[in-house]
Amino acid sequence: MTEDWKFKKGTIINAHLKDFNDSRWETVTVPHDWAIYGPFDKEIDKQSVAIIQNGEQVPTEKTGRTGALPYIGQAWYRKEFLIPDLKETQKTLIVFEGAMSQPQVFINGRKAGSWNYGYSYFYFDISDYIVEGENTLAVHISNKGESSRWYPGAGLYRNVSIITKNKTSFNQWGTFITTPFISENKAKVKIKSKVSGNNLKLRTKIIDNEGNEVANESSSSLFGNEFEINLAVLNPRLWSPETPYLYTAISELYSNGELKDKIRTRFGIRSIKYEAEKGFSLNGKITKFKGVCLHHDLGQLGTAINKAALRRQLKILKDMGANAIRSSHNMPSFEQLELCDEMGFMFLAESFDEWAKPKVKNGYNRFFKEDAEKDIINLVHATRNHPSIVMWSSGNEVPDQWGTEGVKRAKWLQDIFHREDPTRPVTVGMDQVKATMESGFGAVLDIPGLNYRVHLYEEAYDKFPQGIILGSETASTVSSRGVYKFPVKKASMKQYEDYQSSSYDLEYCSWSNLPDDDFALQDDKDWVIGEFVWTGFDYLGEPTPYDEMWPSRSSYFGINDLAGLPKDRFYLYRSRWNKENETLHILPHWNWEGREGKNTPVFVYTNYDSAELFLNGKSLGVQKKNHSTPQNRYRLMWMDVKYQPGVLKVIAFNKAGEPIAEKEIKTAGAPDQIVLDADRTTIKADGKDLSFVTVSVVDKDGNPCPTATNQLNFKVKGAGAYRAACNGDPTSLELFHQPTMKLFSGKLVVIVQSTHKSGPIELKVTGKKLKSGKIALNSTSSEN
């Protein structure tokens, strides 16, 4: 159900009918985000609003809050699908993994169902609507303005599938696998399976990651409509971020001896425990969350889900040392969870950004009372077998934190999660911490999650009964990749004429703090069980501290920019989180024509405790980490460096004071040549796979040019196609899908997409007065 969809934006009468003529409509592939193609426009969803959760009291005009992209409006999707052999013994389901938003679904001109929440997964039984042969699916989408606090995307942005199977079968999302007992020698695997039919028998076997059968069991005992089977796996290999080992349960359903249905369910064997004072343990080992929050957009791809893009994000985060993801503030994609299972990320799966009280006029508050329970049920049932999920979140910074009604809602939602999944705890990201102390809201939760409020951690720990605190959202430090501002000092909500934020990583928001403050709490307090940083990557919308200033249209919060390129802050987190690899990073860049003799502080982010800095061979002294301030504890800082062009070098020392590593950066000359570097040079010829190519400019000696802003052009030949580009500049209004873009701080990223043909691909990048760059890629058949 991926290709040959027909799409048209606008209000179209009778577009649901089977015989409607859609021949002139645009042909698209699904997943699809209609709004990402732009244009950017400050008038789109312009809001006059006071953002209460940011502490604002007076409404002001916000022009880039939802990304300034045209997501508002109505649209239709149409798709023909074939049911070749219709049998009375079969049933047909249609499954939507996400539709933004309020989809109404029609089969052959008849309405089969509707849903409200744009982030929810849902399905309908369409057996009574289909005919043998050709069928027509039509989906109406409606997006209102003032419905989001960030860029929500638009359309069928996740997968749609048609499932035809026997009426005697496993229920959709009806299998639940848990591992209630684990020892070194044996693990108990409990599998509950809800089914439909009569005279049933269930056979289940478990295979390991190498394909070997390690357990099997059969049962004819039904409890209502549910089987329960317990299997023993000997010498189990446990799932963890370090060793993300997966098993597969293969379940076969028989009726009167005839096989009726068969499903495969991946799972992991692992135990989780949350204990007062001690914290969180995974497989019996105390583990702190080194997590990041992620919105669902994929930068220049918009919200249309793509597994290659998700995998690249997770590889970048894995290299940084992250071990956890929080889906913010909505339900994660199936692909994201599958990758977290495979690559080793613990997951905090979130449900809602609003409950009954609104943050935005047309948000989820409109549907909460009617829909919240069924949305949570679908979230839990569809995803509960993922070992990566270790916690649920029922909400984020909801205005319902005030008063007794909010306490009742928090308990009601938590009870639904517990009923559907008794194995995992529930949290809420709380920003009104004082209010939740007084009302009892925070005491109701399994795990109290604090969004920022580092000054209240001690008080919250004393007043809440759980004996642990989770940094459910931390830092909100802001920076622009490769941009540095002087003088260098801590600042809240700092603004500059170019609408950028300084990459010295000392600027933050009025409600938040610097990364080092959270580091200290986690290092010093066993009861602080970790953090989820806002955010792992920049995202479209919410351009704080410039949400009142056009043309800012994307965030500055990311550890990586919108293109997925690391900011300096990446190396600050990496120096603390990645225990396996060396980190030695110098900032700022060393191209400062006009600053000769002026104070230009140098920071070094490293996992070593001390280092010596040299400028053009002259020592500028040794710095050693200390506890005088949080910044001195986690950074090495030379605050009195006078700029001179040349070579800046740092030598790091081990604990014995011996030189162990060094790094240098040089003042670059004029841009001379374009350099290309792909994250993957071989991609699958499936029409979906992607190669992300980092494009940069170097001088005649090969030194990177960190201030280059050249306009570049892209051309792809062979068995691939140009997909999109992004430079990470939150103020850029260049369209992602056009084959031209300016460098920002000397870099940008071009995405090359496969076709269905195998063969060589060439990306060529050109720019005026620059030697062009080429890179050879290859597309192979999806079977390879």
CA distance 425 to 241: 19
* Pairing verdict, β 491-492 and 507-508: parallel
CA distance 2 to 636: 51
Residue type, 274: Y
R_g of the chain, CA atoms, integer Å = 27
CA distance 658 to 610: 10
B/e letters for 356-393, b = 16+ CB within 10 Å, e = fewer, are bbbbbeebbbbbbeebbeebbebbbbbbbbbbbbbbbb
Q: How far is CA 10 from the centre of its chain?
A: 30
Kindly state the greatest CA–CA separation across the chain: 88
Residue from 344, 320, 384 nearest 191 by CA: 384
> CB burial class (10 A; 0-12, 13-18, 19+) of residue 113?
middle
Residue from 155, 179, 2 nearest 72 by CA: 155
Q: In sequence order, which residues have a C-beta less than 8 Å from that of residue 597 and are 6 or more positions away?
A: 642, 643, 644
Distances (CA, A) of 119 to 327, 364, 414: 11, 10, 19
Q: Which secondary structure element, helix H or strand E, spans residue 716, and what is its range?
A: strand 711-718
CA distance 1 to 325: 29
* Pairing verdict, β 747-754 and 773-780: unpaired
Q: Could you give the 3-state DSSP secondary structure of residue 760?
A: strand
Check: CB of residue 327 under 8 Å from CB of residue 350: yes
Residue from 345, 393, 635 nearest 515 by CA: 635
Residue recorded with tokens 């195998």? 758
Residue from 504, 666, 495 nearest 591 by CA: 666
Residue from 533, 482, 476 nearest 503 by CA: 482
Residue recorded with tokens 């090969």? 702
- The angle at the Cα of 641, spanning 640 to 645, to the nearest 5 degrees, equals 160
Q: In sequence order, which residues have a C-beta less than 8 Å from that of residue 725 and are 6 or more positions away?
A: 300, 714, 736, 738, 739, 741, 748, 749, 750, 751
Token code pair at residue 89: 């013994």
DSSP for 645-671?
SSEEEEEEE-TTS-EEEEEEEE---S-
Distances (CA, A) of 667 to 58, 134, 585, 662: 46, 65, 16, 17
Q: In sequence order, which residues have a C-beta less than 8 Å from that of residue 58 and are 6 or more positions away?
A: 50
Tell me the β-bridge partners of 90: 166
Q: What size, in residues, is the chain?
A: 784
- Residues labelled as active-site residues: 397, 473
Q: Could you give the 3-state DSSP secondary structure of residue 15?
A: coil
- The angle at the Cα of 584, spanning 579 to 586, to the nearest 5 degrees, equals 145
Which long-range CB contacts under 8 A does 205-214 form with residues at least 24 apart?
205/249, 205/250, 206/231, 206/233, 206/247, 206/248, 206/249, 206/250, 207/247, 207/248, 207/250, 208/237, 208/247, 209/237, 209/245, 209/246, 209/247, 214/247
Q: Could you give the 3-state DSSP secondary structure of residue 7?
A: strand
